[in-house]
Amino acid sequence: MTTRTVEIGSSVGLHARPAALFVQAVTASGIAITIARPGGKPAPANSILGVMALGAKHGETVELASEAEGADAVLDSLVDLLKQDLDAEEG
């Protein structure tokens, strides 16, 4: 099992555009990944509803996990994505 922990960088938290970009990246990777709050129930990371329902705000931590082979590189890129302020590019 490969895991990563990351703080949400988007100032609005993990919803709206940041959540959509994240879910699209997960879907594009083609591997099964889960996302959870520390100690919380993991949700499939390809579900925008599941991701938004975490209610993760700016500066809060989430855990990514995957059993798939080659997950290291994918999770690293997702960590980079979540660290950014994904809402910043808009407008």
Partner 1 sequence: MSTTVVQGIGVSAGSAYGPVVRAGNPVTPPDNEAALPAAEVEPLIRGALEAVAKDLENRAASAEDTAASILSATAMLARDPGLADNAVERAVSGAGPATAIDGATQDYVNQFTELGGYFAERATDVRDVGDRAIATVLGVSPPGVPPMEKPSVLVARDLAPAETATLDRALVLAIVTEEGGRTSHTAILAAQMGIPAVVKVSEAKDFDDGHMVLVDGESGEVHLDPPPEVADALVQRRERRNKVLAGSTGPGTTKDGKAIPLLANIGGVEDAIAAGKADVEGVGLFRTEFVFLSSKTAPTVEEQTEIYRKVFEPFGERRVVVRTLDAGADKPLAFADLGSEENPALGRRGLRLSAELPELLDAQLEALSAAAHLTGADVRVMAPMVAIVEEAAWFARRVRENGLPKVGVMIEVPGAALRSEHVMAEVDFGSLGTNDLAQYTMAADRMQGELSDLLDPWQPALLDVIAAACHGASVNGKPMGVCGESAGDPLLALVLVGLGVTSLSMAPSKVPLVRYSLACHTFAQCQRLAHLARSARTAHDAREVVREHASADFTAVL
Binding residues (CB under 8 A) for partner 1: these are 11-13, 15-16, 20, 23, 43-44, 46-50, 52-53, 55, 57, 59, 91
58 is catalytic: no
Catalytic residue among 4, 6, 8, 15: 15
Closest to partner 1 by CB, 6 vs 13, is 13
Least Å distance between CB 24 and partner 1? 8
Distance between CA atoms of residues 4 and 22, nearest Å: 15
**Integer CA distances (angstroms), 43 to 8, 22, 29, 77, 79, in order:** 16, 14, 17, 19, 16
Closest to partner 1 by CB, 17 vs 76, is 17
Q: Are strands 2-7 and 34-36 parallel, antiparallel or unpaired?
A: unpaired
Least Å distance between CB 21 and partner 1? 11
